[in-house]
Amino acid sequence: MLNTSPDKPVFFRLQSNLDLRVAVLEVPRLPCLASFNKVDQTLMATVAAELGSNILKYAGQGRLRVQGLQDGFRSGVELVAEDQGPGIPDIEKAMQEHYSSSGTLGMGLSGVQRMVSDMQVVSAPGQGTRIVARKWTAAPACATGSAARPPRPAATAALQLEIATANRPCYPEPVSGDSTLVLPVAGGMLLACIDASGHGKKAHLLAQQLAECIRASASPDLARLLRTAHAMAAGTIGAAMSLAFVDTASAELRFAGIGNIRIRCLGSTPWTGIAREGVLGERFPTPDVQQFALHADDLVLMFSDGVRQSLSAQAVARLHLGSAQQIADKLLRQAGRATDDASCIVVKCRP
């Protein structure tokens, strides 16, 4: 039997982009998501961002409601997006891959559906829209008895990951030409940082399209993913892209990039990955897949060229003190260039 948790639902009223930004920051921190891993918390923040963006784009205003769920031993979260806008005339068509009635290249409802366990859309012309998206934890939320969550494999338990992203547009643009992705794939985590050439809406649309391309083809094969993205970007303004795969069983990071996106590991053995010179869609060199062993307390930073590399040693040392999200936000705040889009992915390794 499906029940809501005893925690009260949390409502976010959406009337502006600022309201949406607050909601996206707060959703992964809510108590009803405490049992989720960092990746699923990030996914739910992405769901809130996409559904909230649709509300502002098509209806002008609306609200998000977030509520914990219980289903026997299983726990989860329910996110409801509601508006009184014009409604969706053809729900089946709206759920098709890459469909957009406004001509944008966002992930759309089909992309949201892939990130959650189940989703329902209720809408009709002139009657508004209500979307219910539910995400369940991967295993029962009990701690004892035969139905308890199985222990993590020893190799994985030795190293846990805390991952966060941050992205902001070049002033005064309303949207960023950078994009980041954090995706669970077989055997580990796939990280993608994308920087479309230029700024503004055109760069933003290409960055979103490339992100969706990687999401649809996600695998640990970084060279193949870069080739796929290069083919998709042909004839566009071009972009830089770096990919990293963290193998959670072997505690190994693999990296490959084309263009001006960098990766650094700060820890007992500092390491800097090297992306090949080129532009996706224009000049594509053979990808160079590099490997690096990760250890407890390592800090991995992957960032676009909108973030300066010249952080002082003191500033770098202080980075380790915060959470992954605090580090990501601080990196853009302290090292982000005012004249460029800026984005980063932060991975904290914990014993």
* 167 and 248 co-located in one domain: yes
* 233 and 307 co-located in one domain: yes
- What is the structure's pLDDT at 71? 74
* 276 and 223 co-located in one domain: yes
- Domain harbouring 314, CATH code: 3.60.40.10
266 pLDDT more than 50? yes
- Domain harbouring 17, CATH code: 3.30.565.10
Whole-number Å distance between alpha carbons of 122 and 171: 37
State the average pLDDT over residues 234-262. 94
Per the document, the length of the chain is: 351
140 pLDDT more than 70? no
* 169 and 282 co-located in one domain: yes
State the average pLDDT over residues 292-297. 88
With bands split at pLDDT 50, 70 and 90, how would you rate the model's confidence at 7? low
136, 169, 193 - which closes a domain: 136
126 pLDDT more than 50? yes
Whole-number Å distance between alpha carbons of 192 and 302: 9
Q: For residue 207, which of 171, 253, 172, 170 has the smallest C-alpha distance?
A: 170
Strand order in the sheet with 299-303: 160-168, 342-350, 299-303, 262-266, 271-273
Domain that holds residue 41: 2-136
Query: How many domains does the chain fold into?
Result: 2
* 23 and 52 co-located in one domain: yes
Three-point CA angle 104, 242, 350, nearest 5°: 110
Note whether residue 141 is domain-resident: no
319 pLDDT more than 80? no
Q: Would you state the structure tokens that stand for residue 351, as one six-digit string?
A: 């014993």
DSSP β-bridge partners for residue 314: none
* 207 and 324 co-located in one domain: yes
* 162 and 91 co-located in one domain: no
* 10 and 128 co-located in one domain: yes
Dump pLDDT digits (tens) for 214-227: 999 999 999 999 99
Q: With a threshold of 0.75, does the pTM exceed it?
A: no
Note whether residue 125 is domain-resident: yes
- pLDDT exceeding 90 applies to what percent of the chain? 54
* 172 and 96 co-located in one domain: no
Instruction: DSSP for 72-104, please give it.
Output: TTEEEEEEEEEE-SS--S-HHHHTSTT--TTS-
Note whether residue 147 is domain-resident: no
Average pLDDT, the chain: 84
CA 290 to centroid of chain Cα atoms: 23
Other CB atoms within 10 Å distance of the CB of residue 21: 12
Q: Would you state the structure tokens that stand for residue 243, as one six-digit string?
A: 């990919």
* 160 and 132 co-located in one domain: no
Note whether residue 37 is domain-resident: yes
* 200 and 296 co-located in one domain: yes
Contact 180/192 with Cβ under 8 angstroms?
yes
Comparing 348 with 154, the larger pLDDT belongs to: 348
Note whether residue 144 is domain-resident: no
* 255 and 114 co-located in one domain: no
Q: Would you say the C-alpha torsion 18, 325, 279, 187 has a positive or negative sign?
A: negative
